[in-house]
Amino acid sequence: MRGPHNILRLIRTGATFERTGAMGVVLDAIEAPPRLRAAARILGWPFRWLGYKGDPNLPPVTRAITALGPAYIKFGQILSTRADVVGVELADQLRMLQDRLPPFPTDVAKDIAASELGAPVDVLFSEFSEPVAAASIAQVHRARVRDTGREVAVKIVRPGIVQAFRRDIDAFHFAARFIETLSPATRRLRPRDVVSHFESVVMSELDLRLEAASASEFAVNTKDDHGFAVPLPHWDLCSRRVLTSDWAEGLPMGDPEALIAAGHDVTRIATRVIQLFLQHALRDGFFHADMHHGNLKVAANGDVIAYDFGIMGEIDEYTRRTYAEILMGFIRRDYRRVARVHFEAGYVPRDRDEAAFARALRAVGEPIFGADASRISMANLLAYLFEVTERFGMRTQTQLILLQRTMVVVEGVARSVDPQLNIWDAAKPVVSDYIKSNLGPKALAGDMARIVQTVGRYGPLLPQIVEQALWERAHPEDVQPVAAPKSGVPMWLAVVLSLGVGTAIGLALH
């Protein structure tokens, strides 16, 4: 039945996009070739009456996706991070998707919790409220643990949602294969890879144990961050479909009037949101990748509280240093250095003109710096930067795209709290501190120490590796001795490693 199911789902999707007026917008955004446009119209127009009507108050694309259901909403949200696939304009529209659905009955939620946690809800909790929030994957209840009296939030996955998502993901894979077969030109957008990425993200979100692990790791990383709080998971009350964590009360980040009325310093809060995101991305390489208004609150003492750790971003140390140098280069308006960093990182091919690239970067940065504080946008700068680097042959850096998308969202949150916030002034201390601690002599010493540790771990193998390398060089025609496994390591490298370890040990002893 998978074939008919996928075909029918594809027809209904096309019909919904046609009926809501979204079809043309999407085809233009991905620069669809004529053959794909014709196929989309064939699948959509004749069956237009089968399409969902959606909310006419929404823009066409968000109207169509919202009407098609939870999997499409989540897919749209994830596509909003892939401006390289759908274009900047459509990515901006997809960021506006609201992941809100009607709640399912509390009795059903209690049955799921009892089944997952191995005991009736009334035994585990002395209080258990009606749903306080409901999204495409799960809903949240306010409760109180009977044994400890602690107030908690209990997140429960929707019944049947795993099977529903699997059916739709199967249809997405079918559609991706269909698109690539029909129009090979679309393979540059890697539709099958995009769907596979979506599948991995959603399947992780559907296992709330992984979200609990992310929350726990994030809490450990940020425990010393002043003015920031992460609700901790209660591991004994967590399972695949249930996540129990501390209840954290606060005012919505998206209500600046309420924040001002409560006596909060909105400029400080907006600055803190920007700085926290950059600290987590640069210092830890592990950041909240879904920091919209709904996942942020302000506690009575002014602390920023983060929720919902289903989507987290991760970048390696080398990428962090590169990103920091690019930001600092723009902050200092040193466009030559920004260009050099791109070439050093291999982001831009070395056969391109570095001076011309630096001038293109200046054309990106100067208009932004010439604007007043309320119009200075790091998000816009990053968007323009990707446009320029694409013209100079930069390959897509998926980890930087997620970082950019989150920066856009975070900046939007900060601007909504304080429209006059100077983004550069907020970012500069964090970026400067990171560069001082990670690009100076102290950082070099740390890098060398890690190199020594890495080489040292192979110390016991080095004599054997050197002996084998020398044997292979002296007797290339002989059969490999049984007692000495083939190293596969060039002799010069084996000798260098040996000397490196010896030198390191000698320095350590002195």
Residues that are catalytic: 290
Nearest alpha-carbon partner for 292 in 100, 96, 154: 96
Residue type, 272: R
Helices (H), 21-59: 23-29, 34-44
Q: Which amino acid is at 352?
A: R
How far apart, in whole angstroms, are the C-alpha atoms of residue 378 and residue 371?
12
The two tokens of residue 239 are 């399972």
Q: With the C-alpha atoms ordered 65, 71, 77, 80, is the resulting torsion angle positive or negative?
A: negative
Cβ atoms 9, 41 nearer than 8 A:
no
Token pair of 260 as six digits: 């001002």
Q: Which pair of structure tokens corresponds to residue 261? A: 């009325």
* Cα dist from 242 to 109, 156, 238, 239, 288, whole Å: 10, 5, 5, 5, 20
Tell me the sheet residues that pair with 244: 154
Q: Within a 10 A sphere around the Cβ of 236, how many other Cβ atoms?
A: 10
Report the C-alpha gap between 219 and 51 in whole angstroms. Answer: 44
Phi, psi of 242 (to 5 degrees): -135, 130
